[in-house]
Chains A and B, each alone.
Chain A
């Protein structure tokens, strides 16, 4: 079945540094990918919709200059947390849907646990 690979699984970084998270669809093309953030014991909140070849669409309250999204190919979207701070520590999950199958279920990556010290 469709697989979405997310890398890294976990990362620890110092405050002020930037961290890049990759989301790859391994066996299908995804025009659109989604980035979610999950704080401990909370639900998943959509941060942004990543569109191949165009700018991402950010949800209200999400800083686009802080969470840079690049979707340069049909199988890869990246989320860069710039100048990370401890409050950015969270679990980030990406998802993707096969292009041309808008009613297919979203396939999720395994998530990236970010800890900013």
Chain B
């Protein structure tokens, strides 16, 4: 069975601090996709990144970076120099390679960035 764990329920940081959101996943599939989504207070889900299981290269996009470690089944997300606008709930998700029916979300981490 597929499962996504985000152990941090809530995190508070002060603006300009770096923060890392943890994500650990379980799957029996050899091919799978990992995602991060942002859900601001308005409710919509904003796609941040997708990573397939064969690509363990870390990725950086502006202040965002992702560390995919297949050996530890982790896909952590770091925000550098956090800003108030980063305050949101962040979801890590896992899907099988095809179809998308088994798209499983983690419980989410609520990030509050204080001015």
> Are A and B subunits of one complex?
yes
Residues of A that sit less than 8 Å from B by CB: 32, 34, 41-46, 49, 57, 91, 93, 95, 97, 102-103, 105-111, 113
Is the CB–CB distance between B100 and A113 below 8 Å? no
Listed A/B pairs (28) with beta-carbon separation below 8 Å:
A34-B100, A34-B103, A41-B110, A43-B105, A43-B108, A44-B91, A45-B105, A57-B101, A93-B43, A93-B45, A95-B103, A97-B100, A102-B98, A102-B100, A103-B33, A103-B52, A103-B98, A106-B47, A106-B103, A107-B47, A108-B44, A108-B45, A108-B47, A110-B42, A110-B43, A110-B44, A111-B43, A111-B44
Secondary structure of the A contact surface, majority rule: strand
Q: Answer yes or no: B13 CB below 8 A from chain A CBs.
A: no
Q: Tell me the minimal C-beta distance from A55 to chain B in angstroms.
A: 14
Complex Cα spacing A13 to B95, Å? 34
Q: How many A-B residue pairs have CB under 8 A?
A: 55
Residues of B that sit less than 8 Å from A by CB: 33, 35, 37, 42-45, 47, 50, 52, 91, 95, 97-101, 103, 105-108, 110
Residue of B nearest to A42 (CB): B107
Is the CB–CB distance between B47 and A105 below 8 Å? yes
Given contacts A41-B110, A105-B35, 10 further A-B contacts (CB under 8 A): A34-B101, A42-B107, A43-B91, A44-B45, A44-B91, A93-B43, A102-B100, A105-B50, A108-B44, A110-B42
Q: Which residues of A lie under 8 Å from residue B101 when comparing CB positions?
A: 34, 46, 49, 57
Q: Which residues of B lie under 8 Å from residue A57 when comparing CB positions?
A: 101
Q: Which residues of A lie under 8 Å from residue B37 when comparing CB positions?
A: 108
